[in-house]
Structure 1
C-alpha cells in the first residue's frame, strides 16, 4: 500500500520503512507527591508576597537544612529564564561558585538569566558518554530517594555589571536536575551533587557544575476547512484555526475542554491521516491501547470549547478595534482609508456570522476519528523516548477542497524580515528563507539524529545552534533552540512513574513576540527545522503549569506510520 507523507524526496520512504517497531514497556510503581505549580506575578512586590503565601499554605513543605540557599536566591536565581519577566523554577542547590546578588527592593529588578544549549563538551560529547553519565545520575538520584523529574544538560547566561559596563557571562556546562516541589532539601541536593561530581571525576571531568531546581515533567495537554489566505486578505489575523495548515487546535468530541494540536498529515492509499500526542485525546489514567475497529469510534473535533470561543472573541475584538478607528477617519486625508476599513469590518462580520451559524455545534466540527493510540510508555525501544502518539483518520471531504499538504503557518504577527533576522543572528549564515506563499513553510525532509547533533549556525552567544519552529494552539508560532544533548525525564501518576529519554528544545530568549516556546495546549505540534525538516512531535516539558522551561519532544521517526504496528496491515 502506498504511504505518502507529502514529501518531495522518495528517499524518505526507505528511511521510514527501516525504523524499528514501537513496543510497549511496563510501568514500575512508586509512591508519588503532587506538585504545586509556581505562579506568575505582576510586579516584584506581588511576586514576593504571593510566593510567601504559597509556601505557607503548601501541605508538603519540608524542613530547612544546612545547605539550603537563601529565600531570595531560591526565588530569584532563575528569574526571567523563559524570557517573560517572570519567576523561574525555585533553586534548591547549586555547586557553581559565582555570587548571586539578590534584588534589594521593588525598584531593583532581579538579574535575568537565560538557558543556553550546550554545543559540545570535550568528554561528554564523545562516544555517547553523556547518555552513560545521564543514566548513572538517575541511579544515584534513586539511591538518595530524590523524586526527580528530569536530568538535563544546559548552560546559563547573564550579564554582570562592572565599572566598564555590563559583561556577558556564560556558565559552565551544568547537569540540571529537576525535583518535585517540596520533596528535596538542600542537604539531600548537596549529597546528591557530591555523588554526581564524584561520578564525573571517574570520567576525568572537572569542569561541569550541578544544580537542583523544583520542576515538574508534564504533558502539555461541519463545513469544509478553509484555505490559508494571502497577506492582503482581511481575515489573515483570525482565520488560521479554521484552515488546513499545520497547527490546528483539536480536542476529543467527548472531552472538548482538553485541547491540543494536530501535528502532521500523511496518506495511506487514498485515506488521509493525521498525527498528534495521545494525551491530547485520552486521559492519562486510560492505559489501554485503542484500535478502531473493534474499539468504539472516538471522534476528534476541530477546536475544543475554549479554542472556538477564543476564535469568536478574536473576531469580535478585530471588529471593535476597526470600528473605533473609524472615529478618527473623518478628515479629508483620511477619507480614502475609510472605505478600506469599512470593507475589513464587513468581511469580519460575515466571517463571524458564518462561524456562529456553521461551526458552533461541535458535531459539525468533527474532522475524523482515532484509529490507533497505544498506551503512553517511557523508555520505549529502541531509543528510549516517550511513546505518546495517536493516529487519526481524517474526513477527506473536510480537507480536500483546500488541502495544502504539510506546511507550518508562520503567522502574520512577526514580519518576514524580523523573522529572518531572528533565525539568522549572524551575518553570512542563511539556513532559513522566509516562504513567500501565504507564510507557509512546507515540510519536505526528515532531520537525522546526526544533523540534530551538528548544527550549522551560531546564536547571539556565538554558540552553535539549530533554531526550530512550531505552531501550536496555545502559543501560536514560536522559535526555539534544539539541544544536541537529550534529557532523562521521570513522569509521575496515580499508578507510579516511568522514565524516558527526551529530545529537548530550549526557549529562544527575550523578544517582543512570544515568551515560552510552548505551553499547555501545544502538545501534538510538529517541531520543524529552518529548511522545512520534520524534527519532532511536541509532547510535554518541565516547568510550571503556565510556561515551559525545556520542551520535550520525540523525534518523528517514532511517530511516523510504517514504524508502528497499526500500519503493518494497511
Structure 2
C-alpha cells in the first residue's frame, strides 16, 4: 500500500509538537520546524484556542552594531550545514495586541519540506555556539518553512484629485500618483510599481522613474499598466457598475426611502461607464501606453534591485502632476489612518491627515534613524510605522524592523541570489500582510512623510507574506548620485 500523504502541519508536528503553535497568527500561517530556548506558553485543554502571536521589531539589542558581519557569518554556517535557508529576520514576538515577550529571535525561513527536525537542531546549535563565542547569549533560533518571492507579477497619464474626481479609486491606476504600475512593452506580464520621480538636475528637463530591476534591459520601452494592472483596472469599472445596478434594484423595492440615493447612484454609474469607454478606446493596446524607456539597470544582486526609466515628457501633464505623493486613502479611512499611525496619546502632537489623502514624500530616512525609531505603539513601545500603496494590496500600514534581513532566492540553475534588506512586519494580527505579489516597486514612507525604501520581495509559506523586504532609499540615492550627481527628487508640486 502506498504511503499516506501527510499534510505539512502533521508532518512537522510529529517531530516538533509546537509546530502549529509557535508562530500561529502570522499572515501565511507559518509553521515552525524547530525552535530552541524555553518553550513558549500554549493553552491546554480540549477546547483551548491557540495563542495568536505577532512578529515585532527589535531595536535596542547588543547585536545591532555588528549585525551585518554576524548575519553573514550565520548564513555561511547554515550553508555549511546544507540548510536551504530563504530568509533570516532578527525580530521578536508578542501576543496579539500586547507587549513584546521573550528575547531576540533569529527567524530563519527554509525551503518547503527541506529541513528535518534533527538537522534544524544541529544547525541551531552551531549558530548558538558561534553567537556565544561572540559574546551574544540568550538569542533564540526559530526555523520556519517560508519562501521569498520577488513580486513580479497613446494618451497622456491622467490627473488625479480624490476630492473632485467622480470615481477616484477607478481613475488612480491611470495616473502618475505613486503606485503607478509599469511593465516592459515586450513582456507586459512582468509588472512593477513605479517608486519615485527624480529629476536629473535643477537645469534638466529629464525626469526619471525609479522602480525594481525586473524591467531589466537598457533602452527597452516601458508601458504604464502591464497585463494584470490594465485588466484589473478595467474589470474594477465593470464590477462597480454591476454592484451599483444591483443596489438600485434593491432600493427600488422601497423607493420612497431611497429616491435620492438611487439618483446619486445612477449618476455614478453614468460617470463610471463614460470613464470605462474612454479608457478602452485609448488605452487598450500596450503600444498606446508607452511612457518612457530604461536608461540604467543595476545588476540584480546584493542589495541592488532598481532601475531608472526616463519618462517621455509628452505623456505627462506636468501642470497637474502630483509629484511624489502616496495615496493613503482607499482601504484605510481618514479616521482609521490616524488611529493606526498615531496610536499612543503621547505621540500625537501635530498630527493632521494629509490633504486629499495624498502623503507627500519629504526627505529620506537615514540608516541611524532606522535603528533608533521614536514612534510609540499602543503599548508605549518604540517602533517605526510605515505606509505604502501597492498594486495588489492598496494602502497598508506596517512596522519596520531595526536591523537588516538576509534573503536568498534559488533559481532553476541552482544559482543563489543573496541580499540584505530592511524588513517590514504586518501592523497587527487583524490587519493582514503588509504586501503581496504584485506590490513590488512600491515606495514605503514613514508616517512623517519621509522615504523609507522600495519594496522588492516578501517571505511566507503562501502568497500571504509574513515579512516584506525592501531596499532602503538612502542606499539607492547614494548609488544614483554616482551616475547622476545632480539627480534629486522631483520638486514638490502645490
Query: Aligned partners of 2:353 and 2:157: how far apart in 1?
Result: 22
Query: Aligned partners of 1:108 and 1:546: how far apart in 2?
Result: 28
In the TM superposition, what is the alpha-carbon distance from 1:119 to its structure 2 partner?
A: 2.8
Query: Aligned partners of 1:334 and 1:547: how far apart in 2?
Result: 40
In structure 2, the residue corresponding to 1:554 is in which secondary structure? strand
Which is richer in helix? Answer: 2
Q: 2:439 aligns with which of 522, 525, 540?
A: 522
- Indicate the larger mover: 129-138 or 403-412: 129-138
In structure 2, the residue corresponding to 1:178 is in which secondary structure? strand
Q: 1:19: which partner in 2?
A: none
In the TM superposition, what is the alpha-carbon distance from 1:307 to its structure 2 partner?
A: 1.5
Q: 2:150: which partner in 1?
A: 219
Normalised by the length of structure 2, the TM-score is 0.89
Query: Aligned partners of 2:469 and 2:358: how far apart in 1?
Result: 24
Q: Is the 8 A contact 2:374 2:383 kept in 1?
A: yes
Query: Aligned partners of 2:434 and 2:349: how far apart in 1?
Result: 20
Q: Is the 8 A contact 1:119 1:463 kept in 2?
A: no
Query: Aligned partners of 2:188 and 2:306: how far apart in 1?
Result: 19
Q: Deviations over 1:244-280 (max 9, x none)?
A: 110011211111122221101011210111010012x
**2:1 equivalent to 1:79:** no
Q: 1:479: which partner in 2?
A: 397
In structure 2, the residue corresponding to 1:313 is in which secondary structure? helix
In structure 1, the residue corresponding to 2:255 is in which secondary structure? coil
**2:226 equivalent to 1:304:** yes
Q: Is the 8 A contact 1:561 1:567 kept in 2?
A: no
Q: 1:451 aligns with which of 369, 385, 397?
A: 369
**2:453 equivalent to 1:542:** no
Q: 1:400: which partner in 2?
A: 317
Query: Aligned partners of 2:242 and 2:45: how far apart in 1?
Result: 43
In structure 1, the residue corresponding to 2:23 is in which secondary structure? coil
Q: Deviations over 1:424-447 (max 9, x none)?
A: 110021378454432111111111
For residues 267-416 of structure 1, the aligned pairs below 5 Å read 267-268=199-200, 269-279=204-214, 281-282=215-216, 290-292=217-219, 298-327=220-249, 328-329=251-252, 331-378=255-302, 386-401=303-318, 402-416=320-334
In the TM superposition, what is the alpha-carbon distance from 1:76 to its structure 2 partner?
A: 4.7
Q: 2:108: which partner in 1?
A: 177
Change in Cα spacing, 1:442 to 1:89, as seen in structure 2 (3 Å) is same
Change in Cα spacing, 1:395 to 1:434, as seen in structure 2 (3 Å) is farther
In the TM superposition, what is the alpha-carbon distance from 1:174 to its structure 2 partner?
A: 0.7
Query: Aligned partners of 1:430 and 1:167: how far apart in 2?
Result: 20
Q: 1:120 aligns with which of 36, 60, 68?
A: 60
Q: Is the 8 A contact 1:260 1:521 kept in 2?
A: yes
Q: Is the 8 A contact 2:338 2:353 kept in 1?
A: no
Query: Aligned partners of 1:169 and 1:318: how far apart in 2?
Result: 42
In the TM superposition, what is the alpha-carbon distance from 1:170 to its structure 2 partner?
A: 1.7
Q: Deviations over 1:454-489 (max 9, x none)?
A: 111121343211101111111111111111111122
**2:424 equivalent to 1:497:** no
For structure 1, the residue ranges without an aligned partner over 5 or more in a row are: 1-49, 160-165, 283-289, 293-297, 379-385
- Indicate the larger mover: 200-209 or 146-155: 200-209
Q: Deviations over 1:96-137 (max 9, x none)?
A: 3235648988x865432210111312x224xx1333322221
Normalised by the length of structure 1, the TM-score is 0.77
Query: Aligned partners of 1:98 and 1:53: how far apart in 2?
Result: 24
Q: Deviations over 1:407-430 (max 9, x none)?
A: 111122211111011001100213
Q: Deviations over 1:284-329 (max 9, x none)?
A: xxxxxx443xxxxx11111111211111121112112222222315
For structure 2, the residue ranges without an aligned partner over 5 or more in a row are: 488-494
Query: Aligned partners of 2:483 and 2:226: how far apart in 1?
Result: 27
